[in-house]
Structure 1
Amino acid sequence: MQLKRQAVALMAFLLLGSNVAVQAQEKKLELSVEKIMRDPKWIGTAPSNVFWSEDGKKIYFSWNPDGNREDSLYSVNAEGKNLQKVSPQERRSLPSPRGEYNRAETKKVYERNGDIFIYDIKSGKAQQVTNTVERESNPDFTFDEQEVVFMKDGNLFAWSISNGQTKQLTDFRKGRKPADEGKSAQREWLKEQQLALLQIVRDRKESQDAAELQQKKEAPNRPKEIYIEDKIVSSVDLGPDERFISYQLITRPKNAKVAIVPNFVTASGYTEDINTRTKVGDAQTTSEFFVYDTQRDSTYAITMKDVAGIDEQPAYLKSKKAGATEGEAKKQQMRATSIYGPVWSKDGKHAVVVARSEDNKDRWILELDPATGKLTVLDRQRDEAWINGPGIGYGTGDIGWMPDNKRVWFHSEENGYSHLYTVDVSSGQKKALTSGKFEVSDVRMSDSGKYFYFKANKVHPGEQHFYRMPVNGGELTQLTSMTGAHEVSLSPDEKNLAIRYSFSNKPWELYVMDNKKGAKPKQVTESLTDEFKSYNWREPEVISFKASDGADVYARIYQPKNPTPNGPAVVFVHGAGYLQNAHKWWSSYFREYMFHNFLADQGYTVLDIDYRGSAGYGRDVRTGIYQFMGGKDLSDHVDGAKMLVDKYKVDPKRIGIYGGSYGGFITLMAMFTEPDVFAAGAALRSVTDWAHYNHGYTSNILNTPQTDSLAYAKSSPIYYAEGLKGALLIAHGMVDTNVHFQDVVRLTQRLIELGKDNWELAVYPVENHGFTEPASWTDEYKRIYKLFEENLKEKK
Structure 2
Amino acid sequence: MRKRVVIIFGILFLFLAYSSLAGDKYVKAPLKGQFTLEQLYSRPHIWGTEPSQVKWDKGSRQVAFLWNQEGGRFRDLWVVSIPEGKLTRLTRMKDFPPIPLQDDKRTEEEKWDAELLDNGVSYFDWSPKCDELILTYRGDIYVVNLEEGVPPKRIIQSLEGESRPQYSPDGEEITFIKGGNLWAYDLIEGTIRQLTTVSKRGVRVGRYSWAPDGSSIFLTTTDSSMHREINIPDYTRKYTTVRKMRRGYVGDPLPITRLGKVARTGGIIQWVDFGEDVFFLRGFEWSPDGKWLLINHMNKDYQDWTIYLINPQTLEKKEVYREHQEPWFWSIDTFWSPDGSTLILTSEKDGWRHIYSLPAEGGELSQLTSGEWDVLSLSVPEQGESLLFTSSAVHRLERHLFSLNLKGGASLRLSSFKGHYTPFVSPDGKWIVVLFSQVSTPPELYLLTNGEKGRKMQRRLTHSPRPEFEQVQVYQPRYFTFTNESDGKTIHARMLLPKNFSNSKRYPVVISCVYADRAKNLWSRYHLIDFYMVTELNYIVVNVDNRASVGYGKDFHYGYYQQMGIVDAAELVSAANYLKKLSYVDSERIGLWGGSYGGYLTLMVMCNHPGVFHTGVAWKPVTDWHNYFDSYTAQRLGRPQENEEIYKKTSPVFNAAGLKGNLLLVHGMQDVNVLFQDTAQIVQRLIEAGKYFDLMIYPRDNHMLSLRDESLPDLMKRIARYFEDHMGVGPE
Same topology, TM > 0.5:
yes
Q: 1:527 offset after TM fit, Å?
A: 4.4
Note if 1:542 corresponds to 2:513: no
Question: Which residue, 458, 462, 475 being the options, matches 1:521?
Answer: 458
Partner of 2:18: none
Match for residue 236 of structure 2 among 255, 262, 265 = 265
Of the three residues 568, 584, 597, the one matched with 2:508 is 568
Equivalences for residues 470-619 of structure 1 within 5 A:
470-490=405-425, 495-515=430-450, 516-523=453-460, 525-529=462-466, 531-548=468-485, 549-560=487-498, 561-575=501-515, 579-598=516-535, 601-619=536-554
In 1, the alpha carbon distance for the partners of 2:408 and 2:303 equals: 29
Distance 1:469 1:253, change over 3 A: same
Moved more, 270-279 or 780-789: 780-789
Closer, same or farther: CA 148–540 of 1 in aligned 2, 3 Å: same
Structural RMSD (CA): 4.4
Which residue in 1 is equivalent to 2:220?
Answer: 248
How far apart, in 1, do the equivalents of 2:429 and 2:151 lie? 24
Q: Which has the higher contact order (CA 8 A, sep 6+)?
A: 2
The 3 A distance-change label for structure 1 pair 156 and 43 is closer
Provide the rounded CA distance (Å) in 2 between the counterparts of 1:63 and 1:252: 34
1:743 pairs with 2:714: no
Task: Assess, with a 3 A threshold, how the Cα gap between structure 1 residues 631 and 67 changes in structure 2: closer, same or farther.
Answer: closer
**1:41 is matched with which residue?**
45
Give the equivalent residue in structure 2 for 1:279: 249
The residue type equivalent to 1:345 in the other structure is S
Per the alignment, in what secondary structure is the counterpart of residue 680 of structure 2? Answer: helix
- 1:202-601 superposed matches below 5 A: 231-235=203-207, 246-254=218-226, 256-266=227-237, 269-276=238-245, 277-290=247-260, 301-305=271-275, 336-339=278-281, 343-369=285-311, 375-389=317-331, 392=332, 398-490=333-425, 495-515=430-450, 516-523=453-460, 525-529=462-466, 531-548=468-485, 549-560=487-498, 561-575=501-515, 579-598=516-535, 601=536
- Residue number in structure 2 paired with 1:7: none
What secondary structure sits across from 1:641 in the alignment?
helix
Q: Which amino acid aligns with 2:242?
A: D
Partner secondary structure for residue 259 of structure 1: strand
The answer to whether the aligner puts 1:761 opposite 2:731 as a matched pair is no
Q: Deviations 1:439-467 (Å, cap 9, x if unpaired)?
A: 33443333433121233332112222332
Can you give the 5+ residue segments of structure 1 that lack an aligned partner in the other structure? 1-20, 176-227, 306-333, 393-397
Q: Is the contact between residue 344 and residue 350 of structure 1 (CA under 8 Å) also seen in structure 2?
A: yes
Provide the secondary structure at the position in 1 that maps to 2:228.
coil
Contact 2:383 2:427 in 1 (8 A): no
Identity of aligned residues (%): 28
Letter in 1 for 2:410: E
Q: Secondary structure at the match of 2:673?
A: coil
Shift of 1:351: 3.8
Larger radius of gyration: 1
Q: Distance in 2 between matches of 1:520 and 1:83?
A: 17
Q: What is the identity, as a one-letter code, of the residue corresponding to 2:421? A: H
Q: Distance in 1 between matches of 2:236 and 2:323?
A: 48
Considering fraction of residues, name the structure with more helix.
Answer: 1
Q: 1:523 to 1:132 in 2, by over 3 A?
A: closer
- For 2:475, the aligned partner's letter is R
Tell me, what secondary structure is at the counterpart of 2:593? strand
Tell me the alpha carbon deviations over residues 617-668 of structure 1, each in whole angstroms, 9 at most, x when there is no partner: 3432332221121111111111111221234642333221211111111111
For 2:606 and 2:627, the matched residues in 1 are separated by 21
Query: What is the match of residue 114 of structure 2?
Result: none
- Does the C-alpha gap of structure 1 residues 780 and 71 become closer, same or farther in structure 2, counting only changes over 3 Å? closer
Offset of 1:406 from its aligned partner?
3.1
- Within 2, Cα distance between the matches of 1:659 and 1:149? 44
State the distance in 2 between where 1:563 and 1:774 align.
40
- Counterpart residue type for residue 550 of structure 1: G
- When structure 1 is superposed on structure 2, of 711-720 and 524-533 the one drifting more is 524-533
Deviation at 1:363, TM superposition (A): 1.4
Residues 364-410 of structure 1 deviation map (CA, whole Å, 9 limit, x = unaligned): 11234567765443222323322113xx2xxxxx4332234232222
- Provide the C-alpha distance between the structure 2 equivalents of 1:166 and 1:731, rounded to a whole number of angstroms: 50
Q: Structure 1 635/509 Cα, relative in aligned 2: closer, same or farther at 3 Å?
A: same
Partners of 2:556 and 2:575 in 1: CA distance: 16
1:673-709 CA-to-partner distances (Å, cap 9, x unmatched) read 1113112211122111111223322222122222211
> TM-score of the superposition, structure 1-length normalised?
0.72
Structure 1 position 698 matched with structure 2 position 633: yes
1:649 and 1:131, CA in 2 relative to 1: closer, same or farther beyond 3 A? Answer: closer
2-structure distance, mates of 1:494, 1:246:
27
Aligned-pair distance for 1:167? 11
Alignment of 1:717-732 (within 5 A): 717-732=652-667
Residues 384 and 29 of structure 1: is their aligned pair in 2 closer, same or farther, counting only changes over 3 Å? farther
Contact 2:391-2:551 at 8 Å conserved across structures: no
Q: What one-letter code is carried by the residue in structure 1 that aligns with 2:224?
A: R
Paired residues in the alignment total 665
Structure 2: distance between partners of 1:51 and 1:43: 23
Residue number in structure 1 paired with 2:103: none
- What aligned pairs does 1:642-657 form with structure 2 within 5 A after superposition? 642-647=577-582, 649-657=584-592
> Where does the alignment leave 5 or more consecutive residues of structure 2 unmatched?
1-7, 14-30, 97-120
State the SS of the aligned residue for 1:423. Answer: strand
Are residues 648 and 285 of structure 1, via their aligned partners in 2, closer, same or farther at CA, if it must alter by over 3 Å?
Answer: farther
SS at match of 2:421: strand
Q: 1:594 is aligned with what amino acid? A: F
The one-letter amino acid paired with 2:256 is T
| Secondary structure of residue in 2 paired with 1:668 | helix
Separation in 2 of the partners of 1:664 and 1:692? 15
Indicate how the Cα distance of structure 1 residues 81 and 728 shifts in structure 2: closer, same or farther if over 3 A, else same: closer
- CA deviation after TM superposition for structure 1 residue 587, in Å: 1.7
- Cα distance in 1 for residues equivalent to 2:404 and 2:136: 35
Matched residue type, 1:469:
L
C-alpha distance in structure 2 between counterparts of 1:478 and 1:488, whole Å: 13
Task: Note the C-alpha offset of 1:80.
Answer: 5.9
Q: Secondary structure at the match of 1:712?
A: helix
- 1:82 and 1:368 map into 2 onto residues whose CA distance is 42
Alpha carbons 2:257, 2:277 under 8 Å: kept: no
Structure 1 segment 764-779 matched on structure 2, within 5 A: 764-772=698-706, 773=708, 775-779=710-714
Shift of 1:608: 1.1
Residue 664 (structure 1) aligned to one of 591, 599, 613: 599
Q: Give distance in 1, aligned partners of 2:192 and 2:464.
A: 50
Q: Judging changes above 3 Å, is the alpha-carbon distance between structure 1 residues 582 and 270 closer, same or farther for their aligned structure 2 residues?
A: same
- The farther-off stretch of 416-425 and 478-487 is 416-425
For the structure 1 residues 273 and 411, does the alpha-carbon distance in structure 2 shift closer, same or farther, using more than 3 Å as the test? same
CA distance 1:75–1:338, shift in 2 (3 Å): closer
